[in-house]
Structure 1
């Protein structure tokens, strides 16, 4: 490359980044996503689910129809399809021990999606796959030894001395946990580049509806499948990398004695979830203090001076957050759009939110500081004070 073209590239990179990255602080350098081929419009979900599970209970159908209208979801992607049900009809037999079959489907599906998302991310990043020094893999949808991190590393052609970290069964806050872990790796290993990838499928929890398990219907109405990936690194290389977000400070907090509010249990039939009705209120009661902890790191005071990347666990959680913190309606627009387009895809969803807001933050009047937040089993809060570049 000529000196002139190098200088042009540097100037372009500087023009793209309005703010200078803080030396030694982790940044997001690229982002990718992937989904299974089956797209399900929400208006088609009830008939399909009732047909596939051979449900003849009219009251269950009515409940699911009501839930589908309140979730605000419009479309979702799913691994489950007719071919899988034809091959494994026992998946819709109540009480059938099907954990082996579910893992046969899920283990390969999550790696395929994570690999596709990672390839898209690496392509956007623009550097060689050999420059990746670490991989952090997040999933609540597979179980095996070795884990999916090794399979993904092999399929991507990562070096065999790549540092691997696997984060299993964290649920909805797993994506932000992954960011926190990748941030620590990047900042403590100068020159490192961390591939963080998340991948989720609802296969482990798919089952025929039962009035004794109302939570299954919530899952059917709300959750989707997919994967995401980001490259994390400190001290971006001018002319080669285009950081768009800085991971400034990160904290985690759990609420004592709330481990049964979000409850997931693995059995021979798959995984079953229980969501307490008081979940939105528990989050609401504690969220302001948690946000203040992060904001105090940079002497930030006004919630509406920030941009907000919030995991959309469901519309009730977003509504509570908006009301409690007196946020302007547009502040959670990117979270609501991610929920609308993809449903709740557990650990992945925060990255769909971040992608939605990437264009917004390029505006000249865009906010400099924001918060990335997610909530999950524990009840656990994950938060990162982020900075737009």
Structure 2
């Protein structure tokens, strides 16, 4: 991996010079995070109660389960929420059944997340100017956002952007793209919705290590984030503001993470080299981005990091030289709900806003990685 070509890096929404100073007020072009809400399915399980049922789904009768049990024990997950009761997964006959379940549960959870976020922001469905909807665990046309717009009473002229393929990075990338839009439409309100029902992609009869890891690590949920342009009244909000963003696409790394799509649906691809790649390459990109804004990792008081798994979080720690508790919100999210793909960073951001509102004027950084292989960074200011 050390001979990788130079990554393709794209920066969006650079801050004007007045925002580069550490004590500066949020830029006039900053986007306000007005609300964020996560919704989890009602079917909550302890990790140890899922190990054997998932083994029944993935392994042949009589197969050795030692590897399965080690993977579940070391995943860093204590509890997870599933879209369906665990006993119903064996009744899903094919990809069509799984995708139908994704649609039914996804619409319900998505509507609950959207309703909660809009209520928190003091807005209604008719106030939404742009709805971005990201999911990598199901497909539909009309897409989830189209169905929800009509179901919830959004305006007929609401702009919609359904996104597929970004995977775990979509929560961070979605915020970045919403910010891009609001810089050009400062009087608008944009909503990011992420719906990930990862359990419905589990491949029955697949004893591959990647499938077993996915069965131990991923959970289900939906989240919605309401963002407002600089022309909107900010009011009393827990924030934060989005100041700038950075995209990085690494050439020739498509084999590290993604789907192998076939008759059975979405078969996960997770290369064991992901943590090593993060450790070797991620730090320099983060530091370069921060340097351009007059900052170092020491200036970041709040880290909103996608919890890819224990080894990935350790790799981020090593790459950035972070203090021991910097990624505690990510580890806590992984422990309590598992890796929910694009939903996770929004779940973490909500918990930070609710449990320990950062001091006004301090910096934060949201970061995630996903298929491509790629990374997304969002610089935040409270």
Does the pair score TM above 0.5? yes
State the aligned residue count.
Answer: 360
Q: 1:333 to 1:203 in 2, by over 3 A?
A: closer
Q: Residue 135 of structure 1 aligns with which residue?
A: 131
Give the 5 Å matches for 1:1-389.
21-51=26-56, 55-59=60-64, 61-81=65-85, 84-85=88-89, 88=91, 90=93, 98-211=94-207, 213-235=208-230, 237-238=232-233, 240=235, 242-303=237-298, 305-359=300-354, 362=357, 364=359, 368-388=362-382
Greater Rg by CA = 1
Partner Cα distance (2:72, 2:87) in 1: 25
Partner Cα distance (1:34, 1:331) in 2: 25
Q: Report the 3-state secondary structure (helix = DSSP H, G, I; strand = E; otherwise coil) of the residue aligned with 1:140.
A: coil
Give deviations 1:101-154, integer Å, cap 9, x for gaps: 221111222122111111110111112322111100001122122111101111
Q: 1:42 to 1:203 in 2, by over 3 A?
A: closer
Q: 1:221 to 1:25 in 2, by over 3 A?
A: same
Q: Is the 8 A contact 1:304 1:328 kept in 2?
A: no
Q: Report the 3-state secondary structure (helix = DSSP H, G, I; strand = E; otherwise coil) of the residue aligned with 1:331.
A: coil
Q: Is the 8 A contact 2:195 2:221 kept in 1?
A: yes
Q: Is the 8 A contact 1:27 1:243 kept in 2?
A: no
Q: Is the 8 A contact 2:35 2:121 kept in 1?
A: yes
Partner Cα distance (1:164, 1:387) in 2: 27
Q: Is the 8 A contact 1:141 1:169 kept in 2?
A: no
1:48 Cα deviation after fit: 2.5
Partner Cα distance (2:262, 2:252) in 1: 24
Q: Is the 8 A contact 1:23 1:234 kept in 2?
A: no
Q: Residue 3 of structure 1 aligns with which residue?
A: none
Partner Cα distance (1:82, 1:223) in 2: 14
Q: Is the 8 A contact 2:57 2:205 kept in 1?
A: no
Partner Cα distance (1:362, 1:148) in 2: 32
Q: Is the 8 A contact 1:303 1:325 kept in 2?
A: no
Partner Cα distance (2:60, 2:231) in 1: 54
Partner Cα distance (1:312, 1:280) in 2: 12
Q: Is the 8 A contact 2:185 2:229 kept in 1?
A: no
Q: Is the 8 A contact 1:102 1:203 kept in 2?
A: no
RMSD: 2.2
Partner Cα distance (2:50, 2:145) in 1: 32
1:376 Cα deviation after fit: 0.9
Partner Cα distance (1:34, 1:233) in 2: 21
Q: Report the 3-state secondary structure (helix = DSSP H, G, I; strand = E; otherwise coil) of the residue aligned with 1:110.
A: helix
Partner Cα distance (1:128, 1:70) in 2: 43
Partner Cα distance (2:82, 2:200) in 1: 12
Greater share of helix residues, 1 or 2?
A: 1
Partner Cα distance (2:269, 2:59) in 1: 23
> TM-score, length-normalised on structure 2?
0.88
Q: 1:89 to 1:101 in 2, by over 3 A?
A: closer
Partner Cα distance (1:32, 1:331) in 2: 23
1:277 Cα deviation after fit: 1.1
Q: Is the 8 A contact 1:311 1:375 kept in 2?
A: yes
Q: Report the 3-state secondary structure (helix = DSSP H, G, I; strand = E; otherwise coil) of the residue aligned with 1:328.
A: coil
